[in-house]
Structure 1
Amino acid sequence: MKKVLCTAALFFLFAACVTKPDIKPYTWEDDLHQRLLTDFSRTEAEVKDYIRKYIPDVTDEQMRQWEASKALECMTLDGEKRYFRNAAPNLFRVDSACYKIKAAKDGVSFSGSEKVNIEHLPEVIASVKKEGIPIVAPKRMRVTYTLTVDSNAVPAGELIRCWLPYPRQDQPRQQDVKFISASEPDYAFSPEECLHSTLYMEKRAVKDEPTVFSESFEYTSNAEWHNLKPENIQPYDTTSSIYKEYTAEREKHIIFSPRMRELAAKLTVGETNPLLKAKRIFRWVNDNFPWASAREYSTIENIPEYVLDNHKGDCGQVSLLFITLCRISGIPAHFQSGFMMHPKAWNLHDWAEIYFEGIGWVPVDQSFGVPTFARNADEEYFFLGGIDSWRMIVNSDYGMPLVPEKKYPRSETVDFQRGEVEWEGGNLYFPQWDYHMDIEYLDN
């Protein structure tokens, strides 16, 4: 009998070995490949279908020319040419001739945030000049943020770990943060010194049901504007910790390559005043790199170099280019991000801050840049030393550790905005979940 039991045990052990799925160990190379396949999801036929709405007789020769100029973004993956998911719309933002064709057909209009700021910026400037303080125009908001993991994205019973964005409480222009509720009874806020502000929760997956995490809070966001004058900028104390840290290189996107050093020198040649240097850089980036929808930052080796190569950039990309050129030029600068919260126009958003001796840190929104509606010099350079009231600051740097620590690489390895989700078996990438924000604008 004992021999029979041993034989049976060996049989079941053997069966378990041959039927157990072969789980491939995690590698970043495999992860990156899947991320690229997600971003580069369009076929040439799909891209041409969009282009024909504006250029009905588009030719293969034109396609190759746009690809060569980087106006039409594509790459070869698994032996197949694949186009970036927003390559076709971006073509009409990046290529000047295509832009004119689309503008002639569709017209040109202000974005939702521009429509708000046409009236808002003059009010901010007037308030700062009247009150004599740089932080004005408070806007109070109540926010419910929800992250929903798809049904069966994780096996039933497995624990899902979730990090949600939460407004920072260490920023002068962001005040009176009030936590209201969370979807789970147990939650944890990141410590204030963490440069990504999060609310952390856990929940077990249920078969055939989405896993929902949510939080509600209130906070007050203020505009900030500094009426900067070159004569008010003092020489830097180059021995200070601020100067040393924020004029240094930082892996992996703030790199002082020979190309970047040469560009910074060219842009600031003959100028010694930090404000006038920053203005030259700000204007040059504004004039040469139109906004375009961006592929995931985690798939880009060096973002500022990518902007130079591809002649375009979204908010975070042009901000990192601006920051890098400022640091090379001896102007302390750092990354800041979260959300733009303009009524009917909220979205993920990134910007920068730069430091002037005698004044301190001031905001710079490179992608808002020089407003097309600017009516005077104050409005023209408002976003160099200023920012509107409609913001939520979540991050004071990029690519820093989350608290508690994440086991697998983040979906967004640079920024932190939409949230992050993982389980024991791996990271949950963006196609496996969705996010939404409900904003109530309260009386101040």
Structure 2
Amino acid sequence: MTKNEAFLHLGDALPTDIARRRDMGDLEGAVRLIDQRLSGGKQPLLAPRLEAERVRLERLGHDYPFTRAEAVGQIRAEWPEFTEEQFDALVDGGRIDWRMLGGEMHIHERFLESLRIYPREAPGLRPERADHTERDAMLARMEREGSLTARITLRASIRALVPVEGRAVQAWLPIPAACPQQSGIQILDATPGGVPAPEDAPQRTIWWDTRGVSEFTVTYRYLHRAEYVNPLALPLEPVQPAFDLEEQPPHILFTPYLRALAARLTAGLTSPAERAKAIYDYVTGQVDYRYQPAYLQLDCIADQCAKTLRGDCGVFALLFITLCRIAGIPARWQSGLSVRPDGAGPHDWAMFYLAPHGWLWADCSFGSSARRSGEDARRAHYFGSLDPWRMVANSAFQAPLTPPMTGWRQDPYDNQVGELMVDGRGLDSTQRDWSQEVLELELL
């Protein structure tokens, strides 16, 4: 068992004395109690859960760095007449994410970006600017032609911000994986010594094991083909397959709430395509986008998303996958990068299976964004189809790297920007830097 498998135990309840201290914001007290139990060695079956919680508590302050006063001050820098009562209303409305640290409210590091998405509720802030003209033209061409292929060249890098001279360094950077959408994968250039994982690795990377090197870079090219499909128009087999229907603790769990929700959403629907569409319509229509902390800070992601109606791209995807599996529709994870002519960034989405056609896609995050802006045609596109502006690196959630990382990963669930380890210790987000540069994006 590697350290990172400890996060499989997050569904196990903490001892109540530790949970109470954590929830009241006494992180030092919670860590002290965890260390006492670990040092005693009397409860080895509980150790993975305690170790995972210790990592979460150590990193929590990075995700929630601002006090309430500091957050209000940041808003007032743009919106001088903003009041404490308005702040409370945004918190109560789920627009501002917070945790208790040191006995006081602390605010998520990207709370301002979350607020900019909703100008009606935060009218004094500079709104998010999103021009979808080029994307809409690309999607229209894809629908018109039936499919669209992009040739994409990317350069990715990761750099240690801590001294590494004379020290053992290992690095992993995501690279394109073999999947239904991608072909012609080429590694054009890389820091010497890099070892690519097999093309079908569930979280594909190029890996280095060296000494004293602080920065690692890889340049790759691939073809990404996106097919336009309307799932509701497909002829389907009367008996559908029975794979990818299981629970995957701790986040893809068939909780009583999710079972009841799936039953309500799909009541009276006999076609699996219609059931998947009902689930997609619910997720994209009811769940609002809000920037999230590191996923290791989240409990039972799909269930909590359904209850809070807040999430980001991966949270959306996990809720869709879980509800589909409950409804008897095979579904799985896919992630990597969203690639645009002006840049690239981490992104997650879902796959679902309809026989005899095969795998189809659902990007609930992009669908929810289209709903916010009143663009139902774009929302409809992302049920069944994606776009060629992608890089797929990962086909599984919470899968190991190649070789498995022995230190704590910064993200034990997904791998979109890479991991670094120095002298056997995984580097946190504050100890490393990463970049992704689009060198070529050509539609063929």
Name the SS of the counterpart of 2:246 in structure 1.
Answer: coil
The aligned counterpart of 1:70 is 94
Between 57-66 and 286-295, report the one with greater CA deviation.
Answer: 57-66
The aligned counterpart of 1:33 is 57
> Equivalent residues in 2 for 1:6-405 (5 A)?
27-52=51-76, 56-93=80-117, 97-99=120-122, 101-102=123-124, 106=126, 109-111=129-131, 114-128=132-146, 136-152=147-163, 154=164, 156-169=165-178, 171-184=179-192, 186-205=193-212, 211-230=214-233, 232-237=235-240, 240=241, 243=242, 245-369=243-367, 371=370, 379-405=378-404
The aligned counterpart of 2:412 is 413
Matched residues in 2 for 1:188 and 1:276: separation?
44
The answer to whether the 8 A contact 1:267-1:281 is kept is: yes
Deviation at 1:385, TM superposition (A): 0.8
The aligned counterpart of 1:131 is none
Unmatched tracts of structure 1, length 5 or more? 1-23, 129-135
Matched residues in 2 for 1:375 and 1:182: separation?
41
Change in Cα spacing, 1:115 to 1:346, as seen in structure 2 (3 Å) is: farther
Deviation at 1:345, TM superposition (A): 4.1
The answer to whether the 8 A contact 1:319-1:365 is kept is: yes
Deviation at 1:86, TM superposition (A): 1.6
Matched residues in 2 for 1:296 and 1:192: separation?
27
The aligned counterpart of 1:431 is 430
Deviation at 1:78, TM superposition (A): 2.8
The answer to whether the 8 A contact 2:276-2:324 is kept is: yes
Deviation at 1:174, TM superposition (A): 0.8
The answer to whether the 8 A contact 2:149-2:223 is kept is: yes
Change in Cα spacing, 1:97 to 1:357, as seen in structure 2 (3 Å) is: same
Matched residues in 2 for 1:385 and 1:413: separation?
28
Unmatched tracts of structure 2, length 5 or more? 1-37, 40-49
Deviation at 1:427, TM superposition (A): 1.1
Q: Which has the larger radius of gyration?
A: 1
The aligned counterpart of 2:34 is none
Question: Which residue type is aligned with residue 212 of structure 2?
Answer: A
Deviation at 1:425, TM superposition (A): 4.4
Deviation at 1:191, TM superposition (A): 2.4
Change in Cα spacing, 1:148 to 1:108, as seen in structure 2 (3 Å) is: closer
Question: Which residue type is aligned with residue 141 of structure 2?
Answer: E
Matched residues in 2 for 1:352 and 1:67: separation?
29
Give TM-score, length-normalised by structure 2: 0.82
Which 4+ stretches in 1 moved above 6 angstroms?
Answer: 373-376
Task: State the percentage of identical aligned residues.
Answer: 28
Question: Which residue type is aligned with residue 197 of structure 1?
Answer: R
Matched residues in 2 for 1:356 and 1:226: separation?
12
Deviation at 1:151, TM superposition (A): 4.0
Question: Which residue type is aligned with residue 382 of structure 2?
Answer: F
Deviation at 1:354, TM superposition (A): 0.3
The answer to whether the 8 A contact 1:92-1:98 is kept is: no
Matched residues in 2 for 1:64 and 1:141: separation?
45
Name the SS of the counterpart of 1:352 in structure 2.
Answer: strand
Name the SS of the counterpart of 2:311 in structure 1.
Answer: coil
CA RMSD across the alignment: 2.4
Deviation at 1:230, TM superposition (A): 4.8
Name the SS of the counterpart of 2:203 in structure 1.
Answer: coil
Change in Cα spacing, 1:117 to 1:374, as seen in structure 2 (3 Å) is: farther
The answer to whether the 8 A contact 2:394-2:415 is kept is: yes
- Residues 319-378 of structure 1: CA distance to partner in whole angstroms, max 9, x if unpaired? 11111111111111001000011111421110111000110001111111163578786x
- Residues 207-229 of structure 1: CA distance to partner in whole angstroms, max 9, x if unpaired? xxxx1101111111122211333
Matched residues in 2 for 1:198 and 1:215: separation?
10
Name the SS of the counterpart of 2:231 in structure 1.
Answer: coil
The aligned counterpart of 2:42 is none
The answer to whether the 8 A contact 2:258-2:306 is kept is: no
